[in-house]
Amino acid sequence: METPDKKIKAIEKQEYEDLASQIRPKPKLARNMAWAFVVGGLICMSGQWIINYMVSLGVSLTDASTSASCILIFLAALFTGLGYYNELGQHAGAGSIVPITGFANAIVASALEYKREGYIFGVGARIFSVAGPTLVFGFVIAVLVGLIKVFLTS
């Protein structure tokens, strides 16, 4: 039910938002995109370098690819602990979130933050505050796809 009072409030809010949006600076999209592209690209490229090197040593492509991810995860965890990854994220934005290193950073950062609440319910529980939802969606969709395939092939 739209009462006249509510309508006036809504108009007031809209006027206020119009005023605020004139003053509020827009995100620097071009600059952000350039940073995201370069940093994200470099992270992926270093992954490719590891893969190519391992394949040249005779490792299978799947194993090389998995190893590359694990190495990047390890490095991201380390740099988060050292306090550098958040500095990078300040500029790189999605460039340091989208690669698997961003996943590792989110895991370590939330665990680190709750260290002072103890190792079990501080670090141990909070480690999943970002990793949890990500894995949940990954698992659920993977199982659904699998079930569809079972259904289609039977």
Partner 1 sequence: MVPLYMAFLVGGLLCVIGQIVMDATKPTVTPGHILVGYISAGAILSGLGLYQPLVNIGGAGATVPLSGFGHVLVQGTLKAVEHKGLLGAFSGGVEAAAAGITTAIVFGYVVAVIFNPKG
Partner 2 sequence: MPGRKKRGQQTVVFDSPPVITAWASVVGPKEGEGPWGQDFDLVLEDYLFGEKTWEMAEHKMLREAITRAVDKRNFMPEDIDLLLAGDLLNQIVASNFAARDLEIPFLGLYGACSTMSEGLSVGAMLMDGGYFERIVAAACSHHYTAERQYRFPTEQGVQKAATAQWTATAAGAVLLEASGSGPSIKSITVGKVIDMGQTDQSDMGSAMAAAAAHTIKTHLSDLNLPGDYYDLIVSGDLGQIGSAIARQLFVRDGIISPEYSDCGVLLYDQSQTVGSGASGCGCCACMLCGPLLKKMQKGEINKLLLVATGALMSPVTSFQGESIPSIAHAVAIETA
Binding site residues, partner 2, CB under 8 A: 12-13, 16-17, 19-20, 23-25, 27-28, 32, 80-81, 83, 85-93, 96-97, 102, 105-106, 108-110, 112-113, 116, 130
Q: Which is nearer to partner 1, 19 or 61 (CB)?
A: 61
The site partner of 54 among partner 1, partner 2, none (C-beta below 5 to 8 Å per kind) is none
- Contact call for residues 80 and 112 (beta carbons, < 8 A): yes
The site partner of 7 among partner 2, partner 1, none (C-beta below 5 to 8 Å per kind) is none
- Please measure the distance between the N-terminal and C-terminal CA atoms of the chain and give it in whole angstroms: 52
Q: Which is nearer to partner 1, 16 or 133 (CB)?
A: 133
Q: At a CB cut-off of 8 Å and minimum separation 6, what does 111 contact?
A: 123, 126, 127
